[in-house]
Amino acid sequence: MSATRAIWAAAAAALLLAACGGQGNSNGVTGERIAAADATPGEWLSHGRTYSEQRFSPLDKINASNVGELGLAWSFDLPENRGIEATPLVADGVMYTTSAWSVVRAFDARNGKLLWEHDPEVARATDIKACCDAVNRGVALWGGKVYYGTLDGRLEALDAKTGKLAWSTVTVDQSKPYTITGAPRVVKGKVLIGNGGAEFGVRGYLTAYDAETGKQAWRFYTVPGEQETDGAASDKAMKIARPTWNGEFWKIGGGGTVWDSMAYDPDLDLLYIGVGNGTPWNRELRSPGGGDNLFLSSIVALKPETGEYVWHYQTTPGESWDYTATQHIVLADINIGGQTRKVLMQAPKNGFFYVLDRTNGKLISAEKYVPAVNWASGVDKVTGRPIETAGARYEKNLHLSNPGPLGAHNWHPMAFSPKTGLVYIPAQEIPFPYMQPGGDKATFKYRPQGWNVGVDFLAAGLPDDEATLKAIRASLKGRLIAWDPVTQTEKWSVTYDGPWNGGVLATAGGLVFQGSATGEFAAYDAGSGAKLWGFDTQTGVVAPAMTYEIDGEQYVALMAGFGGGFAVSAGAGVDPRSEGPRRLLVFKLGGKQKLPARPVSTKEFMDLPAASGTPQQIATGTAVYASNCGVCHGASGVSNFSIPDLRYSPTILDADGFKRIVLGGERKEQGMVSFSGLVSDSEAEAVRQYLLDLARRQQAMQAKAKAAAKG
């Protein structure tokens, strides 16, 4: 009997009462209980339900034959008006989840009664350190505590019954641009948490803390530092990594943040982590002369009790495109060539689906899961390295790459069904024009505030005419792909209006659930992809659904609310249907609750003054905006509604008021910090004139469209 099966057998009897769905507390949540989750399928105790992170539920009372009867059981409106990315957890009849700004809530999972709420009061100015919205992906449960990370870098433990703070520890140097958006995991009594910030300039690591006390147990750095050793669990691994780097990379950190995915195999006692991109993205600026730059864009296996390095596999050696390997990691035992293999599967940003032997990290197979991948033609099966396309590294010329930095698959979790043997991937195509600042004579200067990626964002600006904008929007694609990891082929797919759709849930009822950026939550037949049910969420969805059971009744829960990297930085692709309330939605068969009428966008242009900016001034403003503002307020001023769309903002009408905000930090408490160290008075005015010019052109296009509609 395997260790995992023994755990299940020992735990099943002790968990019988929990399986009945009685509301209590999470004092019984342990590693054994998480590992034995299939003995109590009505609960969802860890981020991916089980340590294997398959996001597959054995529940089947909601199935392909009756899913059409699914209706809203209860809902809760969230006041935090930013991206919603969390997966709720359910233990002993209580649901625990997070929303934007790291706010944690507990509900009675039967009826949605709010049991408690904990707001860590993250300073809104922290938003300047967050590449991709003020989001949070959820909590972890262990013993009688609830664990979560805050955007400003704290790891906190709350009492599961009351929500009161049990302990809090700062996990990062808060003077540097670190953030936490990912959900922690707990393995063997240790809470595991990473961080983000590689776009700005930090050194990545994963840390383990004692679940009871919050005391640090070990830390594993993912890239070398200035010194040969750190006195950390990663010291031996850094001897492998350091020879793969060149230059003084440590001065701005090197990157390699562990900002999302983790999985654990109790039988092998191995923890698997995904490592992010480098700082800058461009390797030629980060590590002059080349090098693989370990452990960037790698999957790394560690011993969870000590942080000891075991093996690694690098998906994108010497990465230069923000092709992180932090995307969802799934563990499964599958039959390949007549032999059951213990595999690890990942569909990282770079567009290739990897199947690895998780005992040793050896490559089994890797193939493109989206056809548009053009930075590499394939993966060499002997070396495991990508076969790169000439010019893809944009050393001298612009390269329009697909995927771009948002990836062929981003953080949105995929799911694996042992029943169908298929992996369900929320895939996308979002090309990006990579170009070094200064072209073939690359120039790069570190900025203590703002992004430090070593590419020219001005090249990614949007054109003026509506026809070209429509063509760009049409090139942005989103799909739900059912992928066979054995044959490395697509079995079916669903096409969406655009990218940045939600994470995925698969169930034993033969269903796959996914929400879309345009505001529909749908159920598909897991075998064929046929759409079986849909619900208007009134807002774009990026989070994945989960499911649970209480008193013999199955529920499906979804956190709804558009946001994240694409929403804040690539606003031209945001569908207006993504705008809407942020909500927790819970469904059951025969649910009768109704939502209020869908809100209607009321954005209107102001009366604009006569044009006063010179062509040179507007050109300067265009460049300054692209370098400093676009990553939050959207390319060419086009933003989603949770961050002000500056074309509609009255702030651009008042020159002095605009400078008080941009240079004086007048709205720091709302998240808009001062850019006085990066932008001069004349440049601030140039940005204002650029935004006024954008607003005038947008008004003219809208007037033309209305006139054409009238005939």
Q: CA 265 → CA 53, 328, 346, 655, distances in Å?
A: 10, 15, 15, 59
CATH tag, 615-710: 1.10.760.10
Tell me the C-alpha distance between 239 and 232, whole Å: 12
Quote the CA–CA distance of 379 and 355 in Å, as a whole number.
Answer: 12
Residues 702 and 711: their CA atoms lie apart, in Å, by 14
Distance CA(548)–CA(87), nearest Å, equals 12
Output the six-digit token pair for 10: 């020992």
Which residues lie closer than 8 Å to 214 by C-beta, 6 or more apart?
Answer: 155, 157, 167, 168, 169
CA angle 331, 183, 522 (to 5 degrees): 70
Q: Would you tell me how many other CB atoms lie within 10 Å of the CB of residue 322?
A: 29
Q: Which residues touch 610 (CB under 8 Å, ≥6 apart)? A: none
Q: Provide the 8-state DSSP code for 64.
A: T
Q: Is the dihedral of CA 198, 203, 206, 212 positive or negative?
A: negative
Give the whole-angstrom CA distance, residue 132 versus residue 56: 27
DSSP 249: G
d(Cα 314, Cα 298) in Å, to the nearest integer?
4
Radius of gyration of the chain, Cα coordinates, nearest whole angstrom: 24
- Do the domains 615-710 and 31-36+38-589 match in fold? no
Active site (catalytic) residues: 322
Mean per-residue pLDDT pooled into runs of 10, the chain (711 residues): 42 40 57 91 97 98 98 97 96 98 98 98 94 96 98 98 98 97 98 97 98 98 96 98 97 97 98 98 95 98 98 98 98 97 98 98 98 97 97 92 96 98 97 84 81 82 61 83 98 95 98 96 98 96 98 98 84 62 97 89 73 84 78 69 74 83 81 83 85 80 72 65
Q: What sign does the CA torsion over 27, 28, 32, 33 have?
A: negative
Helix, strand or coil, per DSSP, at residue 121: coil
State the pLDDT at residue 58. 98
Domain 31-36+38-589 = CATH 3.40.50.2300: no
Contact criterion met (CB below 8 Å) for 650 and 606? yes
How far is it, in rounded angstroms, from Cα 266 to Cα 694? 56
Q: What is the pLDDT of residue 685?
A: 85
Is 532 in contact with 525 (CB distance < 8 Å)? Answer: yes
Q: Is 0.85 surpassed by the pTM of this model?
A: yes
342/566 Cα distance (integer angstroms): 34
Q: Which two tokens stand for residue 83?
A: 């991206």
pLDDT of 8: 40
Q: Where are the domains of the chain?
A: 31-36+38-589, 615-710
